[in-house]
């Protein structure tokens, strides 16, 4: 038993020596409270142990509490809306971005007048300050593709005057690039009114008539319009006015007769005309001049330029007397 006692005392002493070397982090925010006296006599040691210091530090650290929504109780009444995020997250916060979204929204209405409150509600700006809403109104009224009507049946306007007085009034509409063209009849009338030979860009036509491709295909089959299409996707790109009276159909019998006939080649025709002393219409005089061999001109040797003579006192020695030879 004495051997076991000695081993226990040795282990306790080594444990106490190791525990004294372990660094202890003391809480600087709040001082540790004095421990109560033990046994009704002397007070306990003021130096706390490792376990007591750790528990005191953990107790003094405040825990993060979750923020409650909807009042002190942290509960919301049924059906209440939370306005922390906008309904349409794709709408940006910049004024220019909001104008782009407003224009796209007015395009979707198909020319139907829309009030300012409806536009601001779509952009989630109905809860913004009055100054921000006035900036949106000013940009919309000055936009060349947005029309503003002071009244429901009034004329279109883009005036931004007196915006402080009537900025909440009126309706807004999309103003297409090509106005009043939304069906086949209106398209033909628009093409007939044009005084130039330039085609109409289908992209501009789709700005006010998005589903115009089917009508263009039908008019093209009836030879009322000429359509230029893309090579990759065969989508219409440009449109011109056509005349159905200029379209003639060739009988199949004549077509087969034409394809069966032997037409001489272009080289044979040119040779026969040249042999007869006639000039072919397909001959380009510029091509003949380009095919002729060019004469090589001998390059002239440039005369050697001498500098300024400085040995004028030796001119009688450098003079050429070769012409005096016999």
Q: Tell me: pLDDT of 228 over 80.
A: yes
The alpha carbon of residue 188 and the mean position of all alpha carbons in its chain are separated, in whole angstroms, by 34
User: What is the residue whose two structure tokens read 């491709």?
Assistant: 213
Q: Pick one of 2.60.40, 1.10.10, 3.30.310, 3.30.1380 as the CATH number of 95-174.
A: 1.10.10
Q: Give the model's confidence band at 93: pLDDT under 50 very low, under 70 low, under 90 confident, else very high.
A: low
Tell me if residue 189 falls in helix, strand or coil.
helix
User: Residue 14: its pLDDT value, please?
Assistant: 81
Please calculate the CA angle 261-264-265 and round it to the nearest 5 degrees. Answer: 130
177-274 folds as Arc Repressor Mutant, subunit A (1.10.10)
Beta-bridge mates of residue 239:
200, 227
Q: Tell me: pLDDT of 187 over 90.
A: yes
Angstrom distances, CA of residue 94 to CA of 114, 140, 144: 22, 14, 19
Q: Pick 316 or 214 by higher pLDDT.
A: 214
E strands of 271-319, at which residues?
A: none
Q: How many CB atoms lie within 10 A of CB 148?
A: 23
- CA–CA distance, 97 with 207 (Å, rounded to integer): 19
In the predicted model, what is the mean pLDDT of the chain? 76
pLDDT in tens, 260-303: 888 788 788 888 888 898 877 766 666 667 777 777 777 777 77
Average pLDDT over residues 6-14: 83
Tell me if residue 218 falls in helix, strand or coil.
helix
Enumerate the CATH 1.10.10 domain ranges in the chain, comma separated.
Answer: 95-174, 177-274
Please calculate the CA angle 47-52-57 and round it to the nearest 5 degrees. Answer: 105
Given a contact cutoff of 8 angstroms between Cβ atoms, the answer to whether 236 and 229 are in contact is yes
E strands of 69-199, at which residues?
A: 114-115, 146-149, 156-157, 171-174
In this structure, of 126-135, 179-188, 259-268, the range with the lowest mean pLDDT score is 259-268
Of the candidates 19, 21, 48, the one whose C-alpha atom is nearest the C-alpha of residue 32 is: 48
Q: Tell me: pLDDT of 56 over 50.
A: no
What stretch of H or E contains 226? strand 225-229
Q: Give the pTM.
A: 0.47
Average pLDDT over residues 58-67: 47
User: Residue 239: its pLDDT value, please?
Assistant: 95
């Amino acid at each position: 038993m004495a051997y076991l006692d000695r081993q226990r005392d040795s282990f306790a002493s080594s444990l106490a020596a190791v525990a004294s070397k372990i660094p202890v982090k003391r809480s600087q925010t709040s001082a540790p409270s004095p421990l109560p006296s033990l046994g009704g006599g002397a007070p306990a040691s003021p130096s706390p142990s490792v376990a007591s210091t750790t528990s005191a530090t953990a107790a003094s650290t405040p825990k993060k509490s979750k923020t409650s929504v909807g009042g002190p109780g942290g509960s919301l009444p049924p059906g209440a809306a939370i306005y922390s995020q906008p309904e349409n997250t794709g709408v940006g916060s910049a004024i220019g971005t909001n104008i782009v979204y407003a224009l796209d929204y007015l395009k979707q209405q198909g020319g139907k007048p829309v009030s300012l409150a409806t536009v601001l509600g779509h952009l989630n700006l109905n809860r913004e300050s009055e100054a921000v809403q006035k900036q949106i109104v000013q940009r919309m009224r000055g936009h060349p593709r947005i029309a503003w009507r002071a009244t429901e049946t009034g004329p279109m306007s883009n005036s931004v005057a007196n915006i402080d007085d009537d900025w909440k009034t009126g309706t807004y509409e999309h103003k297409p690039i090509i106005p009043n063209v939304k069906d086949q009849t209106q398209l033909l009338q628009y093409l007939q009114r044009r005084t130039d030979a330039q085609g109409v860009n289908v992209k501009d036509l789709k700005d006010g008539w998005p589903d115009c491709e089917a009508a263009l295909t039908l008019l093209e089959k009836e030879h009322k319009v000429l359509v230029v299409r893309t090579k990759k996707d065969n989508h219409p790109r440009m449109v011109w006015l056509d005349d159905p009276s200029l379209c003639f159909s060739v009988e199949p019998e004549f077509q087969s007769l034409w394809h069966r006939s032997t037409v001489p080649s272009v080289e044979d025709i040119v040779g026969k005309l040249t042999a007869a002393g006639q000039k072919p219409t397909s001959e380009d005089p510029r091509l003949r001049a380009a095919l002729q061999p060019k004469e090589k001109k001998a390059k002239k040797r440039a005369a050697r330029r001498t500098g300024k003579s400085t040995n004028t006192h030796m001119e009688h020695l450098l003079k050429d007397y070769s012409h005096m030879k016999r």
